[in-house]
Amino acid sequence: MAKRERKPVHHVQMTDGKRAIIQQLLQEYDIQDVLKDLLGGTIKEMMEAEMDHHLGYEKSERTDSTDEVRDYRNGYKTKQVNSSFGSMDIEVPQDRLSEFEPQVVKKRQKDISDIDRKIISMYAKGLSTKQISETLMDIYGFEASEGFISDVTDKILPQIKEWQNRPLSAIYPIIFIDAIHFSVRDDSVIRKLAAYVVLGINLEGKKEVLSLVIGENESSKYWLSVLNALKNRGVQDILILCSDGLTGIKDAITAAFPKTEQQRCIVHMVRNTMKYVANKDMRSLSKDLKAIYTAADEKSALAQLDKVTEKWKGLYPYAMKRWHENWDAISPIFKFSKDARTTFYTTNAIESLNSTLRRLNRQRSVFSSSQALLKALYLATFEATKKWTMPIRNWGKVRGEMAIMYPERIPE
C-alpha cells in the first residue's frame, strides 16, 4: 500500500509587522482566573493542530486500521503547568508510537507564561476576530475561526458585568466624565456611539475607572441613570465633577448629588472658543483666555473675562458667549491655589486612558456590535490602568485645600 502523503506544514514568513505583533502578544495582561478554561482549551486546540501535522491527517479522517506500523492518536495525558492565572491542568494529545513532540507546550515544560492570554491580549489591542485568526495562523499554523475567537472573548462578559457592578468607595473627591466616539454596525447600518469613561480620584489620590458606559442619546434622564448607578454601588458623595458640556449633566448632578460642584473642563472650553477664531488670532486669544483661568481669584477672573470679551467682540461676537453662560461651572477652580487647580480643571487625568482607547479606532474602523466594542474597551482599560499605582501629582496639596473647603465631607 502506498504511503499516504503528509499535509505540508505551514512555514511562517516573518515580517517587521509580524514581529511587532509578537512583541505585543508577549506583554502580560492582567486577567483573572475566570479565563483558565479559555487558555486550556486554546492550548489543546493548538496541540491538536500540531498532531495533525505530525500524523499527516486530521482527527476526523478515516485511517487504514490494517497498517500496523502507522502511527495514530492515542488519547490524552493530563499535565500540570503554571500560568499567569496560577497552576492549571491541560490535556496533551498522545500518539501510539510516542514520537509526537508538541511545540506549543514542549515536553517537560512547566511554565506557559510566554503564551498566556494571547488571544485576549490581541483583542485588547483592537485586533478584530479576523485579524486574530490570521495572526494565529501566521505564528502557529493554527487555524481558529472568527466564531471561535468571538466565543473566546465572550468568556470575559461575566467578568465585565461583575466589574460594572462592583462596590465603590463612599467618597470620591473628584470624578471626571469624558466621551470617545466609535463606529458600530447595527443591523447592517453603521452608527456612531459614544463610550463614556467615568473616572474617579479616591481619597488616596489614586485614579480608578468607575464605569464604562456606551450611550446614544444624552439627556438629564440618561445622566441621572448613570449617576444613580454610582450611588447604588456605594458612592455617597462627590465633591467636584469635571466634564465637558454634556447635555443634561448639570440637572442630573443636582438631582443625584446636590452638594456636588460641577467643573467645566477648561481645556474643552478653550477648544470650543477657538472654533470661532481665525488661525492668525489663535495664539493671541489663547494667551488672553489663559489670563482668565489662571487669575488669582474669581473677582480678578471676572474682570479679565470682561476685558477679553470687549477686546474680541468686534471680530468674534460669539466667541466668549459660553464663558459667560457657564461661569457658575467654571468658577469653582478659583477656590483653590493655582497648583491645585490643574488637577481638576482639565480632563488630563484620563487623557492617558483615552489615548489607549482611541487606538482602538485606528485598529478597527467599525465594530461589529456594541457588545464587541464593550469587550474591547474593557480589555484596553485593564491594559491602560496597570500602571496606576501612585497618587496623582500635587494630591497632598489638593486634599489639604479640599479639607479646608469641605471640612465636614473630607475625613481626616
Q: Quick one: cell of 50?
A: 500540531
pLDDT reported for residue 168: 94
CB 235 within 8 A of CB 215: no
Q: How far apart are CA 20 and CA 33, in angstroms?
A: 28
pLDDT reported for residue 19: 47
pLDDT reported for residue 410: 87
CB 110 within 8 A of CB 82: yes
3-state secondary structure of 184: strand
pLDDT reported for residue 306: 95
Q: Quick one: cell of 39?
A: 487558555
CB 290 within 8 A of CB 338: no
Q: How far apart are CA 324 and CA 310, in angstroms?
A: 13
Q: What is the pTM for the complete model shown? A: 0.67
Q: Quick one: cell of 185?
A: 454596525
pLDDT reported for residue 351: 76
Q: How far apart are CA 19 and CA 17, in angstroms?
A: 5
Interstrand relation of 73-83 and 189-201 (parallel, antiparallel or unpaired): unpaired
Positions of the chain with pLDDT lower than 50, given as ranges? 1-4, 6-14, 18-19, 21-23, 25-34, 116
**Residue type at 45?**
E
Residues 118-152: tens digit of each pLDDT: 655 565 555 666 666 666 666 555 555 666 566 65
pLDDT reported for residue 170: 95
